[in-house]
Amino acid sequence: MSALRLAFVAARTQAAQAAHAALRERYGECSAEQAQVIVALGGDGMMLHTLHRHGALGKPFYGMKLGTVGFLLNRFDDAGLVERIERANATELVPLQMRAQSESGGSVTALAFNEVSLLRQTRQTAHLRVHVNGKVRLEELVCDGALVATPAGSTAYNLSAHGPILPLGSQVLALTPLAPFRPRRWRGAILRADSQVVFEVLDPDKRPVSATADAHEVRHVVEVTVRDAHEHAATVLFDPDHNLEERIQNEQFA
């Protein structure tokens, strides 16, 4: 039984479940509430799920890759886990908070460690008015959608949409359009981390839009507000040879 109290959260894949059983046998296990460190087993999606599920506990998270994508995870090894955790470097991930208002009049609030994205729901392009800190910056953005990404999430959907890679700790956000048609030459903006972005959906009946915070989707939105949520920051642990800041830097030269 390990002196370090660990809680394991595993994906449903055979590999992750087998690893969970082996680690539980070797190190013991307690609940997330009683643990000193929460260990996620799977891919990046599993790590994001774990951050959302247990982030309010204020515990550090350590992930091991047993999935297809492992940007937020360390390599898997069932030996020396406690020593690895004790040597690990801590990185603070600050999520975004999305507040989405729907056509029905309801309002949904959710966190996103990677990005908040808006996407058209039909073949019709989305028409969005973009406000930044109370000022209209784009009167009408005609596009497939748009997103706001954190530095940690800038190498995910944002990079695929040709958005900028943001260094970790840079205190900025990426505002990136998805297939913009008008203004044709607009490729997005880099904003201060304390900025508030409001997307106003124009003609939502004819051109419906959904909003997603990581994996939490809200359909038929009419307005979406995005801000940083430093009060919900999470600590993620990385092995010294798996430095997240260095990996993000390397993506700029790939």
Beta strands in the chain (DSSP E): 6-10, 37-42, 61-65, 89-93, 96-102, 107-112, 115-120, 126-132, 135-143, 145-149, 172-178, 189-192, 197-201, 209-213, 216-218, 221-228, 234-238
Residue 44 appears among annotated catalytic residues: yes
Report the C-alpha gap between 81 and 221 in whole angstroms. 44
Q: Are 58 and 114 in contact (CB under 8 A)?
A: no
- Residue in 44, 77, 78, 194 annotated catalytic: 44
Q: What are phi and psi of 233, to 5 degrees?
A: -60, 145
Count other Cβ atoms within 10 Å, centred on residue 91. 19
Report the C-alpha gap between 237 and 240 in whole angstroms. 9
Sheet holding 145-149, edge to edge: 189-192, 172-178, 145-149, 115-120, 209-213, 216-218
Cis peptide before 183 (omega within 30 of 0): yes
Six-digit token pair at 232?
């919900």
Catalytic residues: 44
